[in-house]
Amino acid sequence: MTYLSEIRNGKQILQEVAALTFEKTYDVIVCGLGTAGSNAALFSAENGLSVLGVETLTCAGGNHTLGGVVGYYFGCPGGRYEEMDKTVFDFAKRYTSTTAESRKFLMEQALVEKGVGLLYEATVCGVYLEENTVIGLRVLQNGHLTDYGAKVVMDCTAEAYVAAMAGCETVCGRSSDGQMQPYTLVSLVYDGEKYRFTNVDFGRVDQYDSKALSEAVLFCRSYHVQEEHAGTTLISQMPMMGFREGRRIVAEQPVKLDDVFAGCQTGTPMFYSYADLDKHGWDIAFDGEGLGDWAIGANLGAYNVTVAVPYKAILPKGFDGLLVPCRALGVDRDVSSCVRMNLDMKKAAEAAAQWATLAVTQNKSLNDVSYAALAQALKESGCLKESDDRGFRIDGTVNWDGTPLTPKQVQWLTDPAELESHLKTETPGIAIWSVRYMGEKAVPALLKLLISPDENTKKHAAFALAMLGRNEGAEILRETAAARDGLMLKDCRKNNTLRGCMAIYWLGRLADRTIVPELTHLICDENENQKPVYSNGALTTRYKVAGFDGVYFQFLSQAVMALVRIGDVHRDLQAEIAQAFTVAFASDGYYDRITKRPRQSSEGNMALTIKTVALAAIEKWAL
């Protein structure tokens, strides 16, 4: 039976199709010729497949061209994209101010030369399926609908549009409030010497709600960003919106951050992803516990992780004929902030092209293609290298204080006797996290360190014990929270956490009842932001944005999230906590204390999120 699947007013509609004639059938149709899609189309065509590309914009390259995102954020170099990159960089040196411009021209030229059919200003509005196999697409261009058949469809829209239309299961947003990462408006500016792209972050938006999306476009494009453009001439706001996160498919073989931390990685990788878990926004309090333990609880947010990405992470669960080699691939939310970088996308594109080629040339379904043949091709090109499996690393060029950073491998501690020497420093993160791997054998040493006269040692030992779910250090955590300990730990080159916030985080994770009055005071007191910690400029490097009290924001957001966690566990405290939330968020006082910026700005949106999370908890507790 053949079906046409469409989305109408946000809902999937499936209709049986009696007779179906395709205008033309291709080996591969790529929807979305962006960072991944343009490469997937090119490599497929180079492999001898017939390819059609459907793109809503007027050129290829997506984020890498019309999005103004030209750089590579970490990643593991190697693979077929390198040839195009070399051509692009050489051309840019001589003829263009940015590589985005070179790529616009050269990528398209290569696609045309390889015979890829290009449909610009076009979109997919229907998916043809035989049971759960995608066999074609309905394409809309200039008001005309045309049906095309395909042996393999690649959804490279970054948003899983085609997959969602086909009925594949998708997920998006974080569990606390459903929100995605803040979006960004990228502009091309001239600073008198260079032409460069600048990013201005805005709030979080549901880009699948057309009204919210449109309001966000209007707001960010009209927002007067004087500070950000100071001393520069605006050449152009980029036509693409900078959405950093979107819908993701539930894949045949999903990637989970917990597995990465536990060292249980796939045996069928298509490439290795390598970056930090870059959440981008500062309201990391609401990003969940998997990431929270790492980034807040151990202050390792900017450490790089290596993720082996299985080839079946681009195959939607239960489907065939469809691959999703783009940002919408099947990774969980916590790890999605790493596995989305430009290099990852090009590698996913290469894997998809090879996979499709094997399926088409061997006349097999995608599910039946052997991993060995795919891996061989990916190894030959350098896309997949075992040496890319680099574990956890400190990487980058500059430390938090501006001094040069020497990249190095992270060695987790295995001997409890080593803990003290690390915990007494202002870089205790590796020791705190190592305790996760040591388990109970670390406990005797940590209990001894709790009574150390050294402040760092005992506080960090309390964090480490909390990592194991143990509350022997709770009193120290409470004191640290009550003192609003503003020491910024220094494990990371960026995004370091304040120790008082870490203590509050762990008290929430331990569901500590005793801290409730202190946290209630923190969120309700109108003079809280007058305390010394909030004006200690030396501590606030991370949070320095004009019109935004980032330190107060951190304490307030952590306190609210801790109270939510405590209330979730202790039902008898829910009414008291709900009452505190009602008082704290009765007026906009909390907002004004955090920021003077508009509500749709990044800072304004983060401030509002605190209230949203608090009110959602009251609703959840049915109070």
Partner 1 sequence: MYEVIVLGATFAAAGIAETYGKDCLVIEQRMDAGYEFFCAHFDSGPEVYPYLQKADVRFGSHIVSVEKTQVGFVCTTHGVEGFCTFEAKRIIDTRVTPQMCESKAFPILIASEEPPAFAGVSCKRIGETNHYIVSIPVSLSSGYPEARTAALDVVKQFSQTQKLIYSADQFDYRVKDGYPKEENGILYLPSKAFVSPGRAFQAGKEAAR
Ligand X SMILES: Cc1cc2nc3c(=O)[nH]c(=O)nc-3n(C[C@H](O)[C@H](O)[C@H](O)COP(=O)(O)OP(=O)(O)OC[C@H]3O[C@@H](n4cnc5c(N)ncnc54)[C@H](O)[C@@H]3O)c2cc1C
Taking CB under 6 A as the rule, does residue 269 contact ligand X?
Answer: no
Return the SS3 of 17. strand
Taking CB under 6 A as the rule, does residue 326 contact ligand X?
Answer: yes
Taking CB under 6 A as the rule, does residue 510 contact ligand X?
Answer: no
- What sign does the dihedral 417-423-427-432 (CA atoms) show? positive
Rounded (10°) CA dihedral 118, 123, 126, 130? 30
Q: Which does 32 bind (CB under 5 to 8 A by kind): partner 1, ligand X, none?
A: ligand X
Query: Strand 2-8 relative to strand 122-130: parallel, antiparallel, unpaired?
Result: antiparallel
Q: Which does 205 bind (CB under 5 to 8 A by kind): partner 1, ligand X, none?
A: none
Taking CB under 6 A as the rule, does residue 31 contact ligand X?
Answer: yes
174, 247, 248, 327: which one contacts ligand X (CB under 6 A)?
Answer: 327
What tokens were used for 422? 């690390």
The CA distances from residue 569 to 139, 141, 564, in Å, are 50, 53, 9
Which span sits near ligand X by CB under 6 A: 155-163, 212-220, 430-438, 558-566?
155-163
Taking CB under 6 A as the rule, does residue 124 contact ligand X?
Answer: yes
Size of residue set near ligand X by CB under 6 A = 38
Q: Which does 236 bind (CB under 5 to 8 A by kind): partner 1, ligand X, none?
A: partner 1
| Largest pairwise CA distance in the chain | 81
**Which CB atom, from 51 or from 59, has the smaller least distance to partner 1?**
59
β-sheet with 304-310: strand ranges across: 269-276, 304-310, 393-394, 408-409
CA atoms within a 13 Å half-sphere pointing along the CA-CB vector of 210: 3
Q: CA-to-CA distance for 45 and 39, rounded, in angstroms?
A: 10
List the interface residues with ligand X, window 170-189 (CB under 6 A): 184, 186
Give the amino acid at 267: G
53, 62, 269, 316: which one contacts ligand X (CB under 6 A)?
Answer: 62
Q: CA-to-CA distance for 606 and 202, rounded, in angstroms?
A: 10
Q: Which does 499 bind (CB under 5 to 8 A by kind): partner 1, ligand X, none?
A: none
Q: CA-to-CA distance for 490 and 474, rounded, in angstroms?
A: 23
**Which CB atom, from 20 or from 112, has the smaller least distance to partner 1?**
112
Phi then psi dihedrals of residue 202, to 5 deg: -120, -165
Site string for ligand X, 38-57 (x = CB under 6 A): ----------------xxxx
**Smallest distance, Å, CB 97 to partner 1?**
5
Taking CB under 6 A as the rule, does residue 157 contact ligand X?
Answer: yes
Q: CA-to-CA distance for 480 and 503, rounded, in angstroms?
A: 6
Give the amino acid at 110: A
Distance of alpha carbon 159 from the chain centroid? 13
Contacts of 581 (CB under 8 A, 6+ apart): 523, 560, 563, 614, 615, 617, 618
Q: Which does 222 bind (CB under 5 to 8 A by kind): ligand X, partner 1, none?
A: partner 1
Q: Are 163 and 322 spatial neighbours (Cβ–Cβ below 8 Å)?
A: yes
**Which CB atom, from 63 or from 557, has the smaller least distance to ligand X?**
63
Q: Taking Cα atoms as reference points, which of 528, 558, 542, 550 lies closest to residue 595? A: 550
Q: CA-to-CA distance for 572 and 576, rounded, in angstroms?
A: 8
4, 27, 34, 53: which one contacts ligand X (CB under 6 A)?
Answer: 34
**Smallest distance, Å, CB 592 to partner 1?**
24
Q: Which does 7 bind (CB under 5 to 8 A by kind): partner 1, ligand X, none?
A: partner 1
Please spell the DSSP secondary structure of 519-543, one letter per residue. Answer: HHHHHH-TTGGGSGGGG-GGG-GGG
47, 63, 354, 520: which one contacts ligand X (CB under 6 A)?
Answer: 63
Q: Which does 241 bind (CB under 5 to 8 A by kind): partner 1, ligand X, none?
A: partner 1
Q: CA-to-CA distance for 33 and 446, rounded, in angstroms?
A: 54
Q: Are 501 and 560 spatial neighbours (Cβ–Cβ below 8 Å)?
A: no
47, 123, 306, 554: which one contacts ligand X (CB under 6 A)?
Answer: 123
Taking CB under 6 A as the rule, does residue 207 contact ligand X?
Answer: no
41, 158, 188, 249: which one contacts ligand X (CB under 6 A)?
Answer: 158
**Smallest distance, Å, CB 254 to ligand X?**
17
Q: Are 280 and 337 spatial neighbours (Cβ–Cβ below 8 Å)?
A: yes
Taking CB under 6 A as the rule, does residue 342 contact ligand X?
Answer: yes
**Smallest distance, Å, CB 38 to ligand X?**
8
Which span sits near ligand X by CB under 6 A: 242-250, 472-480, 529-537, 548-556?
242-250
Which span sits near ligand X by CB under 6 A: 16-24, 240-248, 455-463, 467-475?
240-248
CA atoms within a 13 Å half-sphere pointing along the CA-CB vector of 555: 32
Taking CB under 6 A as the rule, does residue 205 contact ligand X?
Answer: no
Tokens 């997959």, residue?
A: 163
Which residues here bind partner 1, judged by CB under 8 A?
Answer: 6-11, 56-59, 66, 94-98, 101, 104-105, 108-109, 112, 118, 120-121, 123, 125, 140, 143, 145, 165, 188, 190, 195, 207-211, 213-215, 217-219, 221-222, 234-237, 239-241
Taking CB under 6 A as the rule, does residue 341 contact ligand X?
Answer: yes
Phi then psi dihedrals of residue 350, to 5 deg: -65, -45
Which span sits near ligand X by CB under 6 A: 228-236, 336-344, 352-360, 564-572?
336-344
How far does the chain reach from its first CA to its final CA, in angstroms?
49
Write out the residues near ligand X by the rule CB under 6 A.
Answer: 31-37, 54-57, 62-64, 67, 69, 71-73, 123-124, 156-159, 161, 184, 186, 199, 242-244, 326-327, 340-342, 345
